[in-house]
Chains A and B, each alone.
Chain A
Amino acid sequence: MPEAVHGLGVSPGRAAGPAYRMAGPPVLPPAGPVADPARESALAAQALRDVAEHLERHAARASNPQAREILEAQSLIAADPALLESAEEGIAAGLGAAHALDAACARHREALLAAGGYFADRAGDLDDIRNRAVAAVLGLPMPGVPDPGHPYILIADDLAPADTAGLDPATVLALVTEKGGPTSHTAILARTLGLPAVVACRDAAGIDDGTLLGVDGNTGYVEVGIAEDVAAAIRLEAAARRERRAAGHGPGRTADGHPVALLLNIGSAHDLRAPEDAEGVGLFRTEFLFLDRRDAPSFEEQVAAYTAVLRALPGRRVVIRTLDAGSDKPLPFLRLPGEANPALGVRGLRTSRVRPEILDTQLDALAEAARGSDAETWVMAPMVSTVAEAAAFARRARERGLRHVGAMVEVPAAALHARRLLEVVDFLSIGTNDLGQYAFAADRQHGELADLLDPWQPGLLQLIAMCAEAGREASKPVGVCGEAAADPLLATVLAGLGVRSLSMAAPAVPDVRDALARRSLAECEAGARRALAAEGPAEARAAAGDAAG
């Protein structure tokens, strides 16, 4: 009998295949005397050559152009003669190859950190090169995404963005991590790529490479050591699901035709690969314009970026979120002081308390872009806590001619006052990730608290229900744009609670559309009632599944 281990299912679907583990960073042996410096130099040179070639090979195979650029740049860093020179200096000073490479990478890492800003972001590349080069010298398995040469299920402690840049969705069948939560990078990446994923699965540590696994990204169960015929059955089911996903199209609606708009979460016009198929955009994060720079983007630059998105969606709704940054997502030009508790500090709309001109310019640019397009331009503020904040934001937006003005509900106080918020704004959009973090007083990045951040927590669902109810009373739209909207079963519950639009990463749309199309509104409502009444997230999930049949 196969053994089952359990975690949190964070990206739906099933997959079967052999497990391969991402190796951790190599540990340096104690430094010892060096007998032959020339041999150490040759080892260091060979290791850097190997790493550069490895990265170049991966770059050539990467399907995503952005991933390819990152890998090519990394390969150039590994091949940089300056890096080898530094290592040789270390060897001349008495270090072995592994220690010399470690020190050389650390030194150049410092130089990049000193350059500051986005140059400092490349410091992570040197950590990666250090790990690979040291592993090569010591003869340890190459850290990073494994490459067994056939499709496999990736097992890892946790996945960071750098680990997954080269991850190929054609070879990775599913993700299983020991740490992480529903809003971790792994979860978001898996949903973006449409891969089944289970996180916070502690017992995955005991899975050996090559073991045949069956992964269920809905329930969070991982069956270890399944038989080949069981794997074949799961593969058949997965293929059927892919076919069903490909066949679905059109606007979101329940089986009895009640519309639930399926909108996209995007960061720029680049994310709109097939705008003609989209009902609209539910969350346009404008941060990308502001990242990687020392000065705020100009009015003209902003108008151009917003226009690019609005023009792609004539006649459709585009919900634009004003700058969501602050001490939690620092931007150099905001010049905000560090804070002991950034998640509770000056962030989101609060940033405009200290730098009001940035929001003014952004609203000017949004109004200008809206005038130049046929899209329905909706504008909303992040991290609204009080009615007064929402009213002030609405006034500033409407003064400029913006007609659809809304507030995000991420702070529990805003959910409690949803009814009053809707007296001053035209719509609400619930950001479930932050609403969960604040309602449960659990840091989104905290792996140990993943269960509290589960979007199926009945306490979180209750807050969403309050907002939806307020929307029904005021006849104003209430949507969800957090990761919760991308979970097909949860999407039916949200629809049952009265949420009128769901916004998610594009790859999540087909499964959500399919889940909604299989249930009547009454069935969604029954599922929602049972989920609200459930004791905990697992019970809520099970109850919603039963109710929906």
Chain B
Amino acid sequence: MPEKTVIIGSRSGLHARPAKMFVQAAARQGVAVRIRVGDRPPVPATSMLGVLALGAEHGTAVILQADGPGAEEALDSLAELLSRDLDAEEPADA
């Protein structure tokens, strides 16, 4: 199954706003994406609770995985999002 490893770029980790943006972006993908840290079991990228419970901090490596048509594009787009410091970016609608 295609996988992609990415380092969390947000200063506060995959938490609060970055987690929200990630979960929302995952829900927009046409393919089911899962996310994990190390050898721990993966959780659906669309589950806010699952994503928060990963405890992924700034600098943590997370592994995204997806299968089927569009999987590569989904992984690329979500990995790019996670690599940015989302805390430093202004809310789009504020």
Q: Is the CB of B15 within 8 A of A111?
A: no
Q: Contact residue range for chain A?
A: 20 to 34
Which of the segments B19-27, B63-71, B74-82 contacts the partner chain?
Answer: B19-27
A50-94 residues at the B interface, CB under 8 angstroms: 65, 68-70, 72-73, 76-77, 79-83
Does A247 sit at the interface, judged by CB under 8 A?
A: no
Q: Which of B15, B19, B47, B58 contacts A82 (CB 8 A)?
A: B47
Q: Which of B46, B55, B58 contacts A119 (CB 8 A)?
A: B55
Does A117 sit at the interface, judged by CB under 8 A?
A: yes
A294 and B20 alpha carbons, distance in the complex (Å): 21
Question: At the interface, is chain A mostly helix, strand, loop or mixed?
Answer: helix
A74-124 residues at the B interface, CB under 8 angstroms: 76-77, 79-83, 108, 111-112, 114-119, 122
Does A228 sit at the interface, judged by CB under 8 A?
A: no
Max chain B Cβ within 10 angstroms of own Cβ: one of A83, A115, A119: A119
Q: Which of A72, A83, A114, A119 contacts B15 (CB 8 A)?
A: A119
Closest residue on chain B to residue A73 by CB atoms: B20
Q: Is the CB of B48 within 8 A of A80?
A: yes
Does A535 sit at the interface, judged by CB under 8 A?
A: no
CB distance from A65 to the nearest CB of B (A): 4
Q: Is the CB of B57 within 8 A of A117?
A: yes
Q: Is the CB of B49 within 8 A of A294?
A: no
Q: Which of B17, B46, B49, B55 contacts A116 (CB 8 A)?
A: B55
- Provided the pairs A117-B57, A119-B53 are in contact, do residues A69 and B17 lie with their beta carbons within 8 angstroms? yes
A65 and B55 alpha carbons, distance in the complex (Å): 24
Does B42 sit at the interface, judged by CB under 8 A?
A: no
Does A371 sit at the interface, judged by CB under 8 A?
A: no
A332 and B91 alpha carbons, distance in the complex (Å): 28
Taking CB atoms, residues of chain B closer than 8 Å to A69 are 16-17, 20, 91
A294 and B8 alpha carbons, distance in the complex (Å): 14
Q: Which of A72, A77, A293 contacts B58 (CB 8 A)?
A: A293
Taking CB atoms, residues of chain B closer than 8 Å to A203 are none
- Provided the pairs A65-B91, A72-B20, A118-B13 are in contact, do residues A77 and B55 lie with their beta carbons within 8 angstroms? no
CB distance from A290 to the nearest CB of B (A): 12
Q: Is the CB of B12 within 8 A of A118?
A: yes
Does B54 sit at the interface, judged by CB under 8 A?
A: yes
Closest residue on chain A to residue B23 by CB atoms: A76
Q: Which of A72, A112, A293 contacts B53 (CB 8 A)?
A: A112
Q: Is the CB of A108 within 8 A of B55?
A: no
Q: Is the CB of B53 within 8 A of A83?
A: no
A73 and B91 alpha carbons, distance in the complex (Å): 13
Q: Is the CB of A118 within 8 A of B91?
A: no
Taking CB atoms, residues of chain B closer than 8 Å to A294 are 57
Does A237 sit at the interface, judged by CB under 8 A?
A: no
- Provided the pairs A82-B50, A292-B12 are in contact, do residues A115 and B55 lie with their beta carbons within 8 angstroms? yes
Closest residue on chain B to residue A123 by CB atoms: B52
A24 and B85 alpha carbons, distance in the complex (Å): 38
A-B contact count (CB 8 A): 72
Does B94 sit at the interface, judged by CB under 8 A?
A: yes
Taking CB atoms, residues of chain B closer than 8 Å to A76 are 20, 23-24, 48
- Provided the pairs A82-B47, A118-B13 are in contact, do residues A65 and B94 lie with their beta carbons within 8 angstroms? yes
Taking CB atoms, residues of chain A closer than 8 Å to B44 are 81-82
Q: Is the CB of A73 within 8 A of B48?
A: yes
Max chain A Cβ within 10 angstroms of own Cβ: one of B44, B48, B52, B53: B52
Question: Using an 8 Å CB-CB cutoff, how does the interface string of B2-42 with A read, 1 for contact, 0 for none?
Answer: 00000000011101110110011000000000000000000
Taking CB atoms, residues of chain A closer than 8 Å to B55 are 114-117, 119
CB distance from A506 to the nearest CB of B (A): 19
Closest residue on chain B to residue A74 by CB atoms: B48
A114 and B11 alpha carbons, distance in the complex (Å): 21
Closest residue on chain B to residue A301 by CB atoms: B11
Taking CB atoms, residues of chain A closer than 8 Å to B58 are 293
Q: Which of A68, A73, A111, A114 contacts B16 (CB 8 A)?
A: A73
CB distance from B91 to the nearest CB of A (A): 5
CB distance from A288 to the nearest CB of B (A): 11
A70 and B54 alpha carbons, distance in the complex (Å): 19
A72 and B12 alpha carbons, distance in the complex (Å): 17
Q: Is the CB of A115 within 8 A of B52?
A: yes
Taking CB atoms, residues of chain B closer than 8 Å to A111 are 49, 53
A117 and B91 alpha carbons, distance in the complex (Å): 24
Closest residue on chain A to residue B17 by CB atoms: A69
A77 and B53 alpha carbons, distance in the complex (Å): 12
CB distance from B16 to the nearest CB of A (A): 6
Q: Is the CB of A108 within 8 A of B13?
A: no
7 additional A-B residue pairs with CB within 8 Å, beyond A118-B13, A119-B13, A292-B15: A73-B48, A76-B24, A80-B50, A118-B12, A118-B15, A293-B57, A294-B57
- Which residues on B are within 8 Å of A, measured CB to CB? 11-13, 15-17, 19-20, 23-24, 43-44, 46-50, 52-55, 57-58, 91, 94
Q: Which 5 A-B pairs have the closest CB atoms?
A: A115-B55, A65-B94, A76-B48, A111-B53, A73-B20
A-B contacts, 11 of them at CB < 8 A, read: A69-B17, A69-B91, A73-B17, A76-B24, A77-B48, A77-B52, A82-B43, A115-B52, A119-B15, A119-B55, A293-B57
